[in-house]
């Protein structure tokens, strides 16, 4: 989340503007997390989240930042917005959940980011998006980056990831 200080604000005014920007970013992300199947245009987001009380340009900026941060994804679905113009719809980025679900089903796998992209997405998402989701999953304690290295794209070595041991199903060897 960023405040783009194009008007050269300073001091308390800059702090307040930066705080408002963060609040918009968090409110939009929270709305999408609660409504994770929704496809929405920026004008719809403004209406649902802010009741049209903030400028549409601020909503578009927050949506762009959330997209760049890997939290939202722009879809190819378009809807008429204000003034009859077509607008793309956005949705919550599900890369995180799709990767975690894959590892839970394949809990013994050690995979590089290019392998994960191929298995989970069929190479339909950018590798940077996969790496961002892996970083988030690692930071959240779901996956572990191992010291195992494999050659990936262009012959470069990549670390392998695995499901954290605490998330693997535990075998009960005792019959209760």
Q: For the domain with range 11-92, which CATH number is right: 1.10.10.10, 3.40.640.10, 1.20.120.530, 3.40.190.120? A: 1.10.10.10
Question: Which pLDDT tens digits describe the chain residue by residue (176 residues)?
Answer: 454 545 665 666 655 654 555 588 889 988 998 887 889 999 999 999 999 889 999 999 999 988 888 789 888 999 998 889 999 999 988 888 899 899 989 888 899 999 999 999 987 888 888 898 898 889 888 899 999 999 877 888 999 999 988 877 655 555 55
Residue 145 bridge partners (DSSP): 161
Is residue 63 within 8 Å of residue 72, measured between CB atoms?
A: yes
The alpha carbon of 27 is separated from its chain's Cα centroid by a whole number of angstroms, namely 15
What SS3 class is residue 78? strand
Confidence (pTM): 0.59
95-167: CATH topology: Arc Repressor Mutant, subunit A (1.10.10)
């Amino acid at each position: 989340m960023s405040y783009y200080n194009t008007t050269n604000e300073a001091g308390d005014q800059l702090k307040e503007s930066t705080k408002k920007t963060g609040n918009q970013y968090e409110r939009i992300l929270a709305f999408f997390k609660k409504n994770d199947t929704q496809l929405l245009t920026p004008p719809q987001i403004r209406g649902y989240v802010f009741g049209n009380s903030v400028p549409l340009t601020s909503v578009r900026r927050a949506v762009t930042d959330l997209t760049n941060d890997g939290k939202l994804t722009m879809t190819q679905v378009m809807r008429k917005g204000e003034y009859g113009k077509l607008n793309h719809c956005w949705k919550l980025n599900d890369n995180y959940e799709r990767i975690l679900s894959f590892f839970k089903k394949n809990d013994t796998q050690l995979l590089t980011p290019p392998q994960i992209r191929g298995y989970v997405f069929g190479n339909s998402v950018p590798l940077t998006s996969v790496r961002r989701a892996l970083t988030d999953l690692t930071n959240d304690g779901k996956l572990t980056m191992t010291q195992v290295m494999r050659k990936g794209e262009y012959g470069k070595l990549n670390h392998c990831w695995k499901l954290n041991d605490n998330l693997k199903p535990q075998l009960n060897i005792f019959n209760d």
